[in-house]
Amino acid sequence: MRILVVGSGGREHALVWKIAQSRLVDRVYCAPGNPGIGTLAERVNIQPEEIDRLLDFARRERVDLTVIGPEAPLVAGIVNRFQKAGLKCFGPTAEAAQLEASKVFAKNLFRKYNIPTASFRSFDSATHARAYLKECLYPVALKADGLAAGKGVILCENREQAEAAIQKMMVDQVFGAAGAKVVVEEFLTGEELSLIAITDSKTILVFETAQDHKRVYDGDKGPNTGGMGAYSPTPFMTREALYRIEKDILVPLVHALKKEKRTFTGVLYAGLMITHSGPKVLEFNARFGDPECQPLMMRLKSDLVPILLGAVDGNLDAAELEWDDRTSVCVVMASGGYPGEIQKDFRIDGLDRAVGLPDLQVFHGATASAAEGVVTSGGRVLGVTALGSDFNEARARAYQAVSLIRFQNMHYRLDIGTRALRYLELQEKSATPGAGA
């Protein structure tokens, strides 16, 4: 088989890494890819939004399956175009991808079909939104309606912060058209987690759980980002909670999209909050999460390709998932200033030393090739991802590799996975006879 992966980030590097291991695959292409991906696949100089060129390439090279990484081409209808041309393409159609493209659409869908989520109001007028802020109980979450690269959520402790967020989104338009509408949402408390599933609209194949670290600084401080690290599995996820998520959220959502004539095939990536009253939806994305994809691909023992094909061909019920029992931790190394204004084109040193470590992969996110070697090209530069027998070993291995890598103005969180460690320590103490006496 010949497979084309569309995208250039850490998620796409992880997907290419996993797909290239399949015995079914003869050749992997990636458009446009990055230097790390270039060691595994043939890079194609086509951007994800250039749908006509991607379609022409897939036809010309007789590509058997195209896998879409980022959300923008999905929303733009790349799957519709490939399907019309008779080519297999993994991902939802533009109609189904509205689940991610519009938070207003998604929240209204949840409300209509009784899918548990935070209470909310949506607005397309800054004046009306500001008036509603006078009535709110704080804190609240303000969300830009459209795609904002994971940065379109602002958590507001008080009315002053909420009004500033409305100004930023709707008036100053820092997120462009994505902020023309906003959702003002009840602030949920509990444990946040990411649950990724693949569906062919008939069968739902649920992956192992993961937890993202959205805030830019240690201790979950600072603005939201696309993700500063992730780990898998999440030790606080119980079988009961997972059952409730499947029964009360995933299954009703797939049926709801069918009823709305937006039949969904591809990745359902649920951002969830496990509250005292049960799991509730924060948001849904229509593709693999980044950085959650990195530790999940490290732990996935099954061949990914039959799973992707099963979703496209409508026979996902024949696919199986087998997981490595070990823990995986991903630490994102970012450019200084991220998620705000950054500088780039800084040389990255130490990659050769880091990639030699056992049970470790350095997935490239925002890198480019230059005369002096590999350089930074964006915000989230690398996803250093390790496997370990437990959280301590996985974290130690990931941070050991991080310590070997250097580029100017780099920054990263030091606490990836510590929430899981604290939970496990509390569990151990509560299980110890006489603990707390």
Condensed to tens digits (0 to 9), the pLDDT of residues 72-128 reads: 999 999 999 999 999 999 999 999 999 999 999 999 999 999 999 999 999 999 999
Q: Could you tell me the two tokens for 35?
A: 């230097």
Question: Can you name the CATH fold of 191-318?
Answer: D-amino Acid Aminotransferase; Chain A, domain 1 (3.30.470)
Whole-number pLDDT of residue 437: 40
Residue 350 identity (one-letter amino acid): G
Between CA 10 and CA 34 the distance in angstroms is 9
Between CA 261 and CA 270 the distance in angstroms is 21
Question: Can you name the CATH fold of 327-425?
Answer: Glycinamide Ribonucleotide Synthetase; Chain A, domain 4 (3.90.600)
Looking at the chain, the whole-number percentage of residues with pLDDT higher than 90 is: 90
pLDDT over threshold 50, residue 9: yes
Sign (positive/negative) of CA torsion 373, 377, 383, 384? positive
More confident call, 213 vs 239: 213
Whole-number pLDDT of residue 427: 80
Instruction: Return residue ranges of the chain for CATH 3.40.50.20.
Output: 2-94
pLDDT over threshold 60, residue 435: no
Averaged over 264-281, what is the pLDDT?
A: 94
pLDDT over threshold 80, residue 433: no
More confident call, 426 vs 390: 390
Whole-number pLDDT of residue 150: 74
Whole-number pLDDT of residue 429: 78
Whole-number pLDDT of residue 241: 87
Instruction: Return residue ranges of the chain for CATH 3.30.1490.20.
Output: 119-186
pLDDT over threshold 70, residue 434: no
Looking at the chain, the whole-number percentage of residues with pLDDT higher than 70 is: 98
Instruction: Judge contact between 15 and 5, C-beta under 8 A.
Output: yes
Q: Record the pTM.
A: 0.93
Instruction: Judge contact between 99 and 129, C-beta under 8 A.
Output: no
Averaged over 1-16, what is the pLDDT?
A: 98
Whole-number pLDDT of residue 240: 87
Instruction: Return residue ranges of the chain for CATH 3.90.600.10.
Output: 327-425
Whole-number pLDDT of residue 63: 98
Averaged over 151-157, what is the pLDDT?
A: 90
Averaged over 348-372, what is the pLDDT?
A: 96
Sign (positive/negative) of CA torsion 120, 220, 208, 9? positive
pLDDT band, residue 181 (cuts 50/70/90):
very high
For residue range 29-55, what is the model confidence (pLDDT) as tens digits?
999 999 999 999 999 999 999 999 999
Between CA 59 and CA 52 the distance in angstroms is 11
Output the CA–CA distances (angstroms, integers) from residue 171 to 153, 180, 374, in the order listed: 16, 8, 39
119-186 CATH choice from 3.40.50.300, 3.30.1490.20, 3.40.50.11540, 3.30.70.140: 3.30.1490.20
- The second-level CATH assignment, the architecture, of 2-94 is 3-Layer(aba) Sandwich (3.40)
Instruction: Judge contact between 304 and 319, C-beta under 8 A.
Output: no
Whole-number pLDDT of residue 236: 87
Whole-number pLDDT of residue 290: 96
